[in-house]
């Protein structure tokens, strides 16, 4: 909470610079993530030591 209050002015300036297109792009990304992520398998990809990526 303290950090948010400390950054209040910067966050307000950031929010005022956002356009409608920015908000729609973020919403599209969220929807795509919500649809695609559950369809991915719950396992790692590759062999050790490259098996660190598990979506």
Residue 53 lies in a domain: no
What's residue 26's pLDDT?
A: 96
What's residue 1's pLDDT?
A: 92
Residue 14 lies in a domain: yes
Q: Is the pLDDT of residue 54 over 80?
A: no
Q: Enter the pTM of the model.
A: 0.59
Measured CA to CA, the distance from residue 9 to residue 53 in angstroms comes to 37
Q: Which domain holds residue 19?
A: 9-36
Q: Is the pLDDT of residue 50 over 90?
A: no
Tally Cβ neighbours within 10 Å of residue 44: 13
Measured CA to CA, the distance from residue 44 to residue 54 in angstroms comes to 5
Q: Is the pLDDT of residue 48 over 90?
A: no
Residue 1 lies in a domain: no
Taking only the tens place, the pLDDT of each residue in 12-40 is 999 999 999 999 999 999 999 899 888 88
What is the number of structural domains in the chain? 1
DSSP for 10-48 reads: HHHHHHHH--HHHHHHHHHHHHHHHHHGGGS-SS--SST
């Amino acid at each position: 909470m303290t950090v948010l209050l400390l950054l209040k002015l910067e966050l307000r300036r950031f929010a005022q610079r956002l356009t409608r297109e920015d908000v729609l792009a973020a919403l599209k990304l969220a929807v795509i993530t919500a649809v695609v992520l559950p369809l991915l398998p719950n396992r790692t990809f590759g062999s050790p030591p490259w098996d660190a990526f598990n979506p």
